[in-house]
Structure 1
């Protein structure tokens, strides 16, 4: 059985790219474009193997989303963000992220992180 992944990303092009890459990595992928919808999707999925989230969401603050996700799931959370400052990375990790990838990213870097965070896939 394939593990599930929820992608929380506002940009439709990046959302599609992540969905394709994670499907190829062995996940059943569900995508959401808002923090609120993403939190609900994560809370409903008991077979979750990975969550990706962009912390620059318009409906909720990124660190608030991370705290909420940690409240409903222990699945690894990979933040994928254009925010490249060390303070942003540290804040995300302190808020519950398992790893942080800066946009633009190479697909190889994404694949490496995914295999590290969810090695069964």
Structure 2
């Protein structure tokens, strides 16, 4: 089986070399692009398994590249950017990026994010029937039965709490923005009602986390959204 192909879109030669050296060391195949135009050509021509995308390119904003790739493909996109404002992260994730790493980042963290991405791809590609049971650590969601157990004890969740948990579980490892979650759970009428989302998330955490102040299942990305972690 071929190793995954990763498209590295980065105009800074030093950063690009660091990333490609890391990928080569861990036996990933890769292509590179230093401009947005080249990135789009490479994505169309080689259909990479994952795109590592810098937002600050010389000829095109990375957000535009995300939109273009999303117009024809669901290829996972991990943004690697020096832009650290919450609005930049939200814009990228809402445009269709799957993850966001702020520069400077460690190669260990980059590799960990790649492993999560490939694990999610493998899970979604195994078999043609939907997964009926999701297991993560001591927690199990039985989608068919509509039940959640923790250490084999059934939890009593409200309908909203259950929908939130299922949404995060089905996107394990992916940062979901407040806007995306509220639209998926409540529809456009609840768009950007972050205060209500936080209340429901707090009650959900009290039921699934041993220590809600130090959660192991649901990670908060302050100002951005939430992510289901693999335990």
Compute the TM-score of the two structures, normalised by the length of structure 2.
0.50
Q: Which residue of 1 aligns with 2:26?
A: 25
Q: Which residue of 1 aligns with 2:144?
A: none
Q: Say how many residue pairs are matched.
A: 119
Asked if structure 2 preserves the Cα contact closer than 8 Å seen for 1:42 and 1:72, the reply is no
Asked if structure 2 preserves the Cα contact closer than 8 Å seen for 1:76 and 1:118, the reply is no
If asked which structure has higher relative contact order (CA below 8 Å, sep 6+), I would say 1
Q: Which residue of 2 aligns with 1:37?
A: 38
Task: Quote how far apart the aligned CAs of 1:16 are.
Answer: 0.7
Once residues 41 and 73 of structure 1 are traced to their aligned partners in structure 2, the CA distance between those partners, rounded to angstroms, is: 13
Once residues 53 and 24 of structure 1 are traced to their aligned partners in structure 2, the CA distance between those partners, rounded to angstroms, is: 20
Once residues 76 and 27 of structure 2 are traced to their aligned partners in structure 1, the CA distance between those partners, rounded to angstroms, is: 15
- Secondary structure of residue in 2 paired with 1:114: helix
Task: Quote how far apart the aligned CAs of 1:72 are.
Answer: 3.4
Query: Over alpha carbons, which structure has the higher Rg?
Result: 2
Q: Which residue of 2 aligns with 1:109?
A: 109
Task: Quote how far apart the aligned CAs of 1:88 are.
Answer: 0.4
Task: Quote how far apart the aligned CAs of 1:7 are.
Answer: 0.4
Task: Quote how far apart the aligned CAs of 1:26 are.
Answer: 3.2
Q: Which residue of 1 aligns with 2:211?
A: none
The yes-or-no answer on 1:10 pairing with 2:11 is yes
Asked if structure 2 preserves the Cα contact closer than 8 Å seen for 1:67 and 1:95, the reply is yes
- Secondary structure of residue in 2 paired with 1:118: helix
Task: Quote how far apart the aligned CAs of 1:23 are.
Answer: 2.4
Higher mean C-alpha displacement, 68-77 vs 6-15: 68-77
Once residues 39 and 23 of structure 1 are traced to their aligned partners in structure 2, the CA distance between those partners, rounded to angstroms, is: 22
Once residues 25 and 75 of structure 1 are traced to their aligned partners in structure 2, the CA distance between those partners, rounded to angstroms, is: 21
Compute the TM-score of the two structures, normalised by the length of structure 1.
0.92
Q: Which residue of 1 aligns with 2:212?
A: none
- Secondary structure of residue in 2 paired with 1:108: helix
